[in-house]
Amino acid sequence: MARVSQAGPALEIRNLSKRFGGAIALDRVDLTVRRGEVHGLLGQNGSGKSTLIKILSGFHAPEPGATLSLYGREVALPLQAGDFRNLGLAFVHQHLGLIPSLSVLENICLGEFAIHANWRIDWKGELARIRAVFAEYGLAIDPMARIDQLPQVDRCLVAIVRAIEEVRANQESHGGDGILVLDEPTPFLPRAGVEQLFALVRQVVAKGASVIFVSHDVDEILEITDRATVLRDGRVAGSVETAGARPEDFVEMIVGRRVDHYRSRHSAETGRKAVAAVVGLSGSVCRDLDLSLGEGEVVGLTGLIGSGFDEVPALLYGARQASAGVLEVDGASFDLTEMTPLRAIESRIAYLPADRIGASGAGSLPVADNLALPSLSRFAARLGVDRKAMFRWAAKTGKAHDVRPNNPALNLENLSGGNQQKVLLAKWLEIAPRLLLLDEPTQGVDVGARQQVFAAIDAASRAGTIVVCASTDAEQLAQICNRVLVFSQGRVAVELRGEDVTKEEITFQCYTGQTNSETMLTA
């Protein structure tokens, strides 16, 4: 795709390792990015991509023995925060780092103003400069518009332009054309927006810069990169010239073994009585989801970031407003455009978000209060809440769910992540939910607690609770689910049942996103 220079590499990493306690995040990673190329970086969650990027940005320090060379010059490690600006590196992260209440012009210039002393800002001159930059790249963006008034694709383009300008401003110090790191920039963009972003990337490379493009999407990697490196379990699984490469070549490296192409086949019926249904559910990404749910069934939802699977639990619970859709449970019908969490709880619909402390629990409150939040009515007393009874019940409940330490008076934030999750799952299981909605239920949970969470979910399903679990953890889904729905671009692309519900097959389908038109979403 790009015109790649035959000069020495723009970036060269050798023997890069990183440990967090006893866990190895990166294990002797080597990576070379040529001048004037787009280099893809792929891998599953936990493969080491983010750790590598954070080392380059100075956020993490690598283990001794690693070397980094930029434009042929050895650079001492670890980097300090902010060093990357003078080394020719620029980063655009998924959340962009823009200030919504400021203008495009202010966002682009803010970094330079913060670094260099400016007794007076020539706003007229800066405006003319940024307009010229936008014209250079063919961008029709008003520099005076506020960021929160722009569509998502324009915000992303602004973040990239800002990064490019940072590299240009420091070009004398690093002597190269710059290395732009794009960390998952496309998941929340429509296809037209992706094409705009790719056009800008091509222009950046045509001017001599190099780009590291981090993505989960194999099709995007094939479209925009010259070469790509796959990380698996902290190691380099391989590097591939993308011209002429096939999606299967990458999937094999990502998964760790050759996975046969998916073949549509009708699995045997589970025999579960359908007791719930989702009809025509739509949200900001999810579109027209129809789903039948059986008694005690555990259904997994997955896909690449931005594919829409992760918003389904919140839409069903009323934590996010649906634009359309109906939920039917045991003969009762709920208009999901009017659903609220209170109505959901009253109907024994429970939701455990991925953000444990921010959205699911109250870290500064005792374990007893967190456990009792959906069940406070059972402790009602004439003068308020019978807290002694609540604490006795909380101690009994904590013991049943193996919360350690089992101290109802201890604030939730003082427990480990796994024990926090056991508390928050227990609070919902205690209301005997008819429908249990989970979002990444074992995220940040240690192996032992993870198995206990699985056991609790299994016990609930055996008691008749319908479980819907949204997760990017293919291994987790394979362990607990009767079937798995793989989303692509807001819709279910593939349904996996029976022996097809494996870690390898789930991962394969996430990265290929093939639509199975014969799939019927019935229990």
How far apart CA 464 and CA 460 sit, in angstroms, is: 7
Quick one: pLDDT band at residue 448, thresholds 50, 70, 90?
Answer: low
What integer pLDDT is reported at residue 268 of this predicted model? 34
Query: Tens of pLDDT along 350-394?
Result: 999 988 877 888 989 999 999 999 988 889 888 888 999 999 999
- Structural domain boundaries in the chain: 11-255, 273-348+433-523, 363-431
Quick one: pLDDT band at residue 52, thresholds 50, 70, 90?
Answer: very high
Average pLDDT, the chain: 85
Average pLDDT over residues 440-462: 82
pLDDT > 90? residue 227: yes
How far apart CA 237 and CA 255 sit, in angstroms, is: 10
Q: Considering only 264-278, 319-333, 422-436, 445-459, which range has the smallest mean pLDDT?
A: 264-278
Q: Are domains 11-255 and 273-348+433-523 of this chain identical in fold? A: yes
How far apart CA 227 and CA 68 sit, in angstroms, is: 20
Query: Tens of pLDDT along 251-302?
Result: 788 877 654 443 323 333 445 678 999 999 999 999 999 999 999 999 999 9
Query: Tens of pLDDT along 229-254?
Result: 999 888 999 999 999 888 878 878 88
pLDDT > 60? residue 56: yes
What integer pLDDT is reported at residue 65 of this predicted model? 93
Task: Write out the two tokens for 322.
Answer: 């649906």
Give the chain's count of helices (H) and strands (E).
17, 22
Task: Write out the two tokens for 508.
Answer: 């394969």
Model confidence pTM above 0.85: no
Tell me which fold the domain 11-255 belongs to. Rossmann fold (3.40.50)
User: 255 in helix, strand or coil?
Assistant: helix
What integer pLDDT is reported at residue 213 of this predicted model? 93
Q: Are strands 380-381 and 179-183 parallel, antiparallel or unpaired?
A: unpaired
Locus of tokens 């249990």? 436
Query: Tens of pLDDT along 325-340?
Result: 999 999 999 999 999 9
pLDDT > 80? residue 510: yes
Average pLDDT over residues 161-173: 74
Closest CA to 351 of 437, 260, 223, 453: 437
Residue range 273-348+433-523, CATH number: 3.40.50.300
How far apart CA 362 and CA 369 sit, in angstroms, is: 9
pLDDT > 90? residue 148: no
Q: Considering only 313-317, 343-347, 415-419, which range has the smallest mean pLDDT?
A: 415-419
